[in-house]
Chain A
Amino acid sequence: MAILKVDGQEIEVPDHFTLLQACEAAGAEVPRFCFHERLSVAGNCRMCLVEVKGGPPKPAASCAMSVRDLRPGPNGEAPEVFTTTPMVKKAREGVMEFLLINHPLDCPICDQGGECDLQDQAMAFGIDSSRYQENKRAVEDKYIGPLVKTIMNRCIHCTRCVRFTTEVAGISELGLIGRGEDAEITTYLEQAMTSELQGNVVDLCPVGALTSKPFAFTARPWELNKTESIDVMDALGSAIRVDTRGREVMRVLPRVNEDINEEWISDKTRYIWDGLKTQRLDRPYVRKDGRLQAATWAEAFGAIKAAVAGKTGDRIGAIAGDLASVEEIYALRELMTSLGSPNIDCRQDGTALHPSFGRASYVFNPTIAGIEQADALLIIGANPRIEAAVLNARIRKRWRMGGFPIALIGERSDLRYDYEYLGAGPETLAELVDGKGSFFATLKQAKNPLIIIGQGALTRADGLAVLGNVAKLAGAVGAVTAEWNGLAVLHTAAARVGGLDLGFVPAEGGKAAAEMLTETEVLFLLGADEMDFSKKTAFTVYIGSHGDNAAHVADVILPGAAYTEKSGTWVNTEGRVQMGNRAGFAPGEAREDWAILRALSDVLGKKLPFDSLAQLRARLYAQHPHFADINEIAASEGGDLGALAKKGGKMATSGFASPVKDFYLTNPVARASAVMAECSALARNNFKAAAE
């Protein structure tokens, strides 16, 4: 610990702190442009100058000076730092004046206006007029992709974007070319960026040089209503802020959540919002004469009642989709129970995970933040980069710290960090389980070995056998101890862990999702779009928000609310219970899904015993108490893995393949988004070009 005085106030801070961090700890505000807590120190904006007593008689850049570099006074007094002296003020005013020399005065038409660091700090350190008489510098705007718009005149060369892409995203796409006055931020020959995390450079840019292209000129930050919510595009449950104007979602921004996403979100999370406006189901539809035709709620419910009438419970089925909240899955489960149906499933992709194996068998046990404690990683049948881009950044963060051997079984791809490729499929896994191969020893020697198993290894006919073998491997290398559970199941669907927690899987004698399509007579789809409906024979009721795969083949469509339009609970891949909030109302006659199910139950004569979301939650929490612990992970037993390990059966020989084929088009909302379609096309072309 180091003791120093900041503006006369004595404070003790850890040795590794910089002056800037020490000043912040003492409550002194230090302006900055280039410094960012999660990026390396560049020290090139010079805005964070402070006065150091006993140091050189010039201001010091506080972001780049360590508290260890301070000298004590002649009699051993604590070193002193000042942040408010006239020298500091004059120095910062000088820096600001230089920054503003070449910065255009286009705040009224700049999208950063209102949330611009330069604007804010110019209010504190700017002078009222310019002494600069020459022409301002003009810089050509660069094309760097469909998501990030550039207005390069505004760039102040802080290089945050360059450091982000290189360090966090793990792909050196942006750079600072030229020198001095001619320095310019660009991608190599203005190619589009390819990172799944590129949208974060918009947040990082302290000025309006990099702004959101789809959001350009649509709204001002101060006219938007901000709603804190949870993302459902992947199974991480990243913390987001949904900005709305009226009913319309205008943009999605990340919130800080150190446990999950730090402060990054993937491009799919950020740029999905135009999909919330298009392809929406805003009124009920009933299929008449082979065509879906608009109907009233009463007609739609009537059609369902007629279809259900006289069917026994085992002829009725229900499948919960990937974006559904816990509340609506719970309502659907209660409805199916009252109809006497054992055919319920939340596993559209047919994954082998099952609540009967214990909760530890289907969650990301070590937690996302826990990746930083791991010291060896084996990835089985997953591509974290496209299945959970933010989690992949966390793995990369751990990898950059060093001493983190990573190996992969599955599809070979660029994961933004180096790994040892062990093999394609079950054979390699079997060898590893038998203790062969050097990586077995690496895992065994590691104190906290981490084994990530993805849906690519579990959504196969032999998924259970693979899971059993992985459990066996985890036991063999000591990945499960009293302090550490290194078996991590990586989900791709936001609703999956919640559904499994609710036990939304076929009951005794019930049919699994794939069988239901052909072997039931009435099928309820709660936003389930990711299946092959070509062989479907059942009378299908689709409850969902978007006219996607399932809506096209449905017989009755009941319009539901998208994830920004309802308050709902989601459980992320770690098993963390989180609640999202309603940012706006669903369009037209669409209603929240739990309310649709409640109304439908009344029509079917099986009235569900709740009239409000609060009553629903009260019943839910009574039956499943852990859902009441928002933002917590219910402890799961590690011991039941032993039983799971015995489940091992014969594994097939085909290689593991990630279920996510296209990062940008994984759910109905994304498929309705024009921005995602453009990104997808670009990524496909890049992939093609790379393969050539």
Chain B
Amino acid sequence: MSVRRLADEAVQPASFAFSPENAAWAEATINKYPKGREQSAVIPLLMRAQEQDGWVTKAAIEAIADMLGMAYIRALEVATFYTQFQLKPVGTRAHVQVCGTTPCMLRGAEELMDVCKRRIHAEPLQTNEDGTLSWEEVECQGACVNAPMVMIFKDAYEDLTPARLEEIIDQFQAGRGAKVKRGPQIDRILSAPEGGPTTLNGADAEPAKPSAPRSKKTPDEAASIPPSKAARAKTAAAETDPSLKTPATAKAEAAANTKVKGNARDEAGAKSPDDKSRPTGGKKPR
């Protein structure tokens, strides 16, 4: 995250107005709050303005602040606080939000970002040449089961491979984003197991038999998939050199250096809760 500023004056539109439909919605939203507390509607209104214009313009911040009777600085505080508000123009056809949080990262979100860098722009939050596409890395979108995933506007595209993401980007660039299948992009219903249900398959209540191995891959095949590089530090720093000796890789040398010999924990005699020789009195930890 970095300092968030309003977009350059050159790209700011002169004025902002909600469309008639959105204006009616905004009025209804404001009416949800008690009198004197209308300012609570600032987040929904800013979000609706972003949905209408694609991003939150200075004019929109001022117009919404005026609608709610609050100082401009108060609305600006809200708009700059939440990274979900785009303060600069984003892609008109798609703003690809790639989840980069741990589960997605382990499942290959970085490759998805490489696709975005190649196809859209080398930097996040920058539009491509014709202004139709942009991307950014976001935090967890709550679809970890179907990682890796991206979010485009309000729809999630899950179980992605770099190739599939490229297809999706192609579709959006061509203006056919609505036709792209939403949700999981593989043979999966919502977040159910891949290839269909694996439990409670039988019609009767008999205890389920041990299910067939889910993966038909042989152990050899499984091993042939190289481990993800996701967690590998992207640095050439000396301390990340794999040939470096550490207590983890060179146990014998490390043991020679320690003052306490043997397993310190064993010698201290940590007792299990069920140990008979445990002092009586006091409750067992549960």
Q: A residues touching B (Cβ–Cβ < 8 Å)?
A: 140, 171-182, 184, 186-189
Contact = CB atoms under 8 A, between A and B. Distances in A.
Contacts of A171: 71
A140 B74 CA distance: 20
B72 A182 contact: no
A82 B127 CA distance: 57
A182 B2 contact: yes
B59 to A, nearest CB: 12
Interface in B54-108: 58, 70-74, 76-77, 80-81
B71 A184 contact: no
A174 B76 CA distance: 11
A322 B126 CA distance: 62
A228 B2 CA distance: 47
Given A182-B1, A188-B71, A188-B72, A176 B6 contact: no
A37 to B, nearest CB: 25
Contact of B71 (A173, A176, A181, A182): A173
A188 B76 contact: yes
B4 A172 contact: no
Contacts of A187: 73
Interface string B1-23: 11110100000000000000000
Given A177-B76, A182-B4, 18 more contacts: A171-B71, A172-B70, A172-B71, A175-B71, A175-B74, A175-B77, A177-B4, A177-B77, A177-B80, A177-B81, A178-B3, A178-B81, A179-B81, A180-B1, A182-B1, A184-B3, A187-B73, A189-B76
Contact of B76 (A175, A180, A182): A175
28 contacts: A140-B3, A172-B70, A172-B73, A175-B71, A175-B73, A175-B76, A175-B77, A176-B77, A177-B73, A177-B76, A177-B77, A177-B80, A178-B4, A178-B80, A179-B80, A179-B81, A180-B1, A181-B1, A182-B1, A182-B2, A182-B3, A182-B4, A184-B3, A186-B73, A188-B73, A188-B76, A189-B58, A189-B72
Contacts of B2: 182
B74 A172 contact: yes
A173 B77 CA distance: 12
Contacts of A174: 73
Contact of B73 (A140, A173, A181): A173
Interface of B: 1-4, 6, 58, 70-74, 76-77, 80-81
B6 A189 contact: yes
Nearest to B2: A182
A188 B71 CA distance: 9
A262 to B, nearest CB: 24
Nearest to B83: A179
Contacts, number: 44
Interface centre among A172, A173, A187 (most CB of B within 10 A): A172
Nearest to A181: B1
Nearest to B79: A177
Nearest to A166: B71
Contacts of B6: 189
A189 B77 CA distance: 11
A173 B76 CA distance: 11
Nearest to A180: B1
A192 to B, nearest CB: 13
Give the top 7 A-B pairs by smallest Cβ distance, nearest first.
A172-B71, A175-B73, A177-B80, A188-B73, A188-B72, A175-B77, A182-B3
Contacts of B72: 188-189
B170 to A, nearest CB: 35
Interface centre among A171, A174, A182, A188 (most CB of B within 10 A): A188
Contacts of A176: 77
A186 B1 CA distance: 19
A590 to B, nearest CB: 46
Contacts of B4: 177-178, 182
A182 B83 CA distance: 12
Nearest to A184: B3
Nearest to A179: B81
Contacts of B80: 177-179
Contacts of B58: 189
B204 to A, nearest CB: 53
Contacts of A186: 73
Nearest to A140: B3
Nearest to B61: A188
Nearest to A189: B6
B4 to A, nearest CB: 6
Contacts of B74: 172, 175
A175 B78 CA distance: 10
B120 to A, nearest CB: 25
A178 B70 CA distance: 18
A130 B58 CA distance: 41
A172 B74 CA distance: 8
B72 to A, nearest CB: 4
Contacts of A178: 3-4, 80-81
Contacts of A181: 1
A184 B74 CA distance: 13
A175 B2 CA distance: 18
Nearest to A174: B73
A208 B112 CA distance: 46
A176 B73 CA distance: 8
Nearest to B3: A182
A578 B2 CA distance: 54
A186 B5 CA distance: 12
A551 B77 CA distance: 51
A171 to B, nearest CB: 8
B181 to A, nearest CB: 36
Contacts of B70: 172
A180 B83 CA distance: 12
A182 B80 CA distance: 10
Contacts of B71: 171-173, 175, 188
A160 to B, nearest CB: 16
Contacts of A140: 3
A216 B138 CA distance: 43
A329 to B, nearest CB: 45
B195 to A, nearest CB: 43
A306 B140 CA distance: 93
Nearest to B65: A188
Contacts of A189: 6, 58, 72, 76
Nearest to B77: A175
Contacts of B81: 177-179
A67 to B, nearest CB: 30
Nearest to B80: A177
A191 to B, nearest CB: 9
A217 to B, nearest CB: 28
A119 B61 CA distance: 39
Contacts of A180: 1
B79 to A, nearest CB: 8
A186 B72 CA distance: 12
A646 to B, nearest CB: 45
Contacts of A188: 71-73, 76
A173 to B, nearest CB: 7
Contacts of A184: 3
B82 to A, nearest CB: 8
B239 to A, nearest CB: 14
Nearest to B4: A178
A277 B95 CA distance: 60
Nearest to B1: A182
Contacts of B3: 140, 178, 182, 184
A179 B80 CA distance: 8
A171 B76 CA distance: 15
